[in-house]
Chains A and B, each alone.
Chain A
Amino acid sequence: MPTPTKGPRLGGSAAHQRLMLANLATSLFEHGRIKTTEAKAKRLRPLAEKLITFAKRGDLHARRQVMTVVRDKSVVHTLFTEIGPSFENRPGGYTRITKVGPRKGDNAPMAVIELVREQLAARTETAAAAAEEPAGSAAAETATEAGDTPAEDTTSAQTSGSAETSQAEGDADEAQADKKD
């Protein structure tokens, strides 16, 4: 059971809060990630995860219960056909909140709430990729240092070539990491 919410309702009344959270959940399932204030993101997380648990169950009763919150039938369809099955192996923790700093204008603390797209087994792979990245840059540095010792004319070409290749490799690594995300 999620921690009960403390303090006043968002927007002033219970009905207003319910409508805002329903709209936020609809947007989250439609776009996969939304940017909102930290307070709204924290209130949205338990509701969204409950709806995803309904989607994982997938029967008609669950669908009708989700329809009482998310009024958009196409969004409910994607929730039950794509989002729910993609979280088949994940035991909860379907969403991730990342703070992105205060908003210009009213200084409200903003956050990005997104559906977690990584598979559970892929976590170790991403960690390994992150570990490899600094190692690759270190290897490039040693290569440039080794290239400095021979004649001056060749070093510039060698260093530039090695630097370019290492950068290309780094870009490829980053691209792979992005794909995993």
Chain B
Amino acid sequence: MAVPKRKMSRSNTRSRRAQWKASAPTLVTCPQCRDPKLPHTACPNCGTYNRRQVVDPA
């Protein structure tokens, strides 16, 4: 079975993990309640899309 020959140094581990980045989502303002929401998606705050009530707000 293939196994690593050397221990992975902390430096290499941290260098690899430094590339794990989260990206900020694109947000737009809800025309009904002015809350930020995902584009082309019903507003999770007021439950409307295109001023039409789609879901009950959580």
Is B28 part of the binding interface, using a Cβ–Cβ cutoff of 8 Å? no
Is A178 part of the binding interface, using a Cβ–Cβ cutoff of 8 Å? yes
Docked complex: B16-48 residues within 8 A CB-CB of A: 38, 40-42, 44
Residue of B nearest to A100 (CB): B42
* Complex alpha-carbon distance, A104 and B54, angstroms: 19
Q: Are B55 and A178 in contact (CB under 8 A)?
A: no
A interface residues, tally (CB under 8 Å):
9
B41 contacts which of A35, A99, A130, A181 (Cβ < 8 Å)?
A: A99
Q: Of A35, A99, A181, which is in contact with the most chain B CB atoms at under 10 Å from its CB? A: A99
Per-residue CB proximity of A148-181 to B under 8 Å, as 1/0?
0000000000000000000000000000001001
B residues adjacent to A (C-beta < 8 A): 38, 40-42, 44, 49, 51-55
A residues adjacent to B (C-beta < 8 A): 35, 98-101, 112, 130, 178, 181
